[in-house]
Amino acid sequence: MEAGAERVLYGLNDIDSERCVIVEGEIDKLSVETAGVVSCVSVPDGAPSEAAKDYASKFAFLEADRERLDAVREWIIAVDNDGPGKRLEDELARRLGREKCRRVIWPSECKDANDVLRSFGAAVLREAIDNAEPYPLAGVFDVSDVSDRIDRLYEHGWERGVSTGWEEIDRLYTVRPGEFTVVTGIPNSGKSNWVDALLVNLAQAHGWRFAVFSPENQPLEDHMARMCEKWAGAPFAEGPTPRMDRESLRRSKEWVRDHFTWILPDDDSEWTVETVLDRARALVFRKGIRGLVIDPWNELEHATPNGMTETVYTGQVLKHIRQFARRNGVHVWVVAHPQKLYRDKESGSYPVPSLYDISGSANWRNKADCGIVVWRDFKDSNTPIEVHVQKIRFRQIGMLGMAKLRYQPSTQTYRELGFDHPLNSTSSASRRKKALALEDAS
């Protein structure tokens, strides 16, 4: 492969829209051809390693001829029978659509198509391809459909979510793909900014990519600049704390470009939940996003059908969001405002809202996998903010409780009270130096 060449599927011109086999290496494509199947392509440079955190860029080849790939009615995934191959299979099925995919099960002593050809001949290889198993039908399962997953649970235990970057928060809440978190809090409590800081932590520590629908955060360059300063650990603008230098700005823009994409409505467009999820589904294919933020809920167009109550409508839409998250392996955060709350007459403080206080419906509490309330004391800006975890559906993800974080106004980030976490250092200079070193290493 020549340096700088466009990365494309090997055998791209052999694709038949009725059915196409996808393998992991050029020799496997040639082996499948020997078995009489010409409609076969190979990924350009193998599978991502099991240790890789950020491997979304390895799938840029899917964009080389997207219309041709979208036209394929059935994909036969016939990659290597090993750890990296399993990761490749899962990501291909996620991006191409599980409903369009079948998977080949190789004989136990064979790793790939070439192994089968050399050990058993072309007829056995063709039989394995023709007998590829469909992915489970939506809503229809038995133990055999998930037997390997049950074995992995037995060997490795329940899958927990990934770290948020704050140990105190991890004690209560971790983030797992395929789930749905609702975040609420009274106006100006910092709920949107806390979500932004969480995304930066996840992107930096785990290589996740995100789509952000946040029409209130305009102009776009303002929101992007705030993401830059969170990553660089230095203010974007002049002030009492030294601002980021030009090199830090350049590096931070590159990093934000690689990890964040904004979904922005046109002024004359009606942006419904379906529209946002449609764009996000395309970004699963294009960029391999692992997270989607909808902030805030009330900026979407909500046309409740005639005869349907708001409660029923909200329940149906939230169910749709949850199904999108599970089907695409994407964690979805929805920021929603509570109903009007009143100050306590004696203390003068606003109470901590609950998920049931969110405008619209109790379904916010019922449908979400996780529910978080961000609260701060408006009377004393020096007090820590409180992150209340009020809903956890699965115990391996976390538990109910409250954690405190210290707000860093210069960079709009958060740190833990007892020490400076590597992702949230109080020293902007040390944070910037550490971030640049991490970027160089990656």
How does residue 387 score in pLDDT terms, banded at 50, 70 and 90?
very high
Considering the domain 12-155 in this protein, what is its CATH number? 3.40.1360.10
Considering the domain 167-441 in this protein, what is its CATH number? 3.40.50.300
pLDDT tens digits for range 268-311: 567 889 999 999 999 999 999 999 999 999 888 887 788 888 88
Helices 26-34 and 113-120 meet at what angle, rounded to 10? 40
How does residue 438 score in pLDDT terms, banded at 50, 70 and 90?
very low
Of 31-35, 100-104, 361-365, the range with the lowest mean pLDDT is: 361-365
How does residue 421 score in pLDDT terms, banded at 50, 70 and 90?
very low
Is the sign of the CA dihedral 20, 25, 28, 29 positive or negative?
positive
Q: How far is CA 415 from CA 200, 255, 256, in A?
A: 13, 21, 21
SS3 (DSSP) at 387: strand
How does residue 442 score in pLDDT terms, banded at 50, 70 and 90?
very low
Q: What is the reported pLDDT for 435?
A: 45
> Residue 243 pLDDT more than 80?
yes
What CA–CA distance (Å, rounded) separates 248 from 254?
10
> Residue 134 pLDDT more than 70?
yes
pLDDT tens digits for range 140-185: 777 877 788 788 888 877 878 999 999 999 999 999 999 999 999 9
Whether 414 and 408 have beta carbons less than 8 Å apart is answered as: yes
> 136-145 as b/e, with b when 16 or more CB fall inside 10 Å?
eeeeeeeeee
Q: What global pTM score does this model have? A: 0.69
Whether 355 and 184 have beta carbons less than 8 Å apart is answered as: yes
How does residue 425 score in pLDDT terms, banded at 50, 70 and 90?
very low
Mean confidence (pLDDT) of the chain: 87
Q: What is the reported pLDDT for 343?
A: 74
Count of positions (residues) in the chain: 442
Q: How far is CA 250 from CA 63, 246, 360, 411, 433, in A?
A: 26, 6, 43, 17, 14
Between the ranges 13-22, 42-51, 236-245, where is the mean pLDDT highest?
A: 13-22
Helices 220-232 and 191-206 meet at what angle, rounded to 10? 60
Domain ranges, ordered by start, for the chain: 12-155, 167-441
Percent of the chain clearing pLDDT 70 (strictly above):
90
> Residue 429 pLDDT more than 50?
no
Q: Which residue has the higher pLDDT, 160 or 432?
A: 160
Structure tokens at 150: 């049950």
Q: Which residue has the higher pLDDT, 313 or 104?
A: 104
Q: How far is CA 45 from CA 50, 54, 117, 213, 286, in A?
A: 15, 15, 21, 33, 18
84 DSSP assignment: H
What CA–CA distance (Å, rounded) separates 76 from 127?
13
Q: What is the reported pLDDT for 251?
A: 95
How does residue 345 score in pLDDT terms, banded at 50, 70 and 90?
low
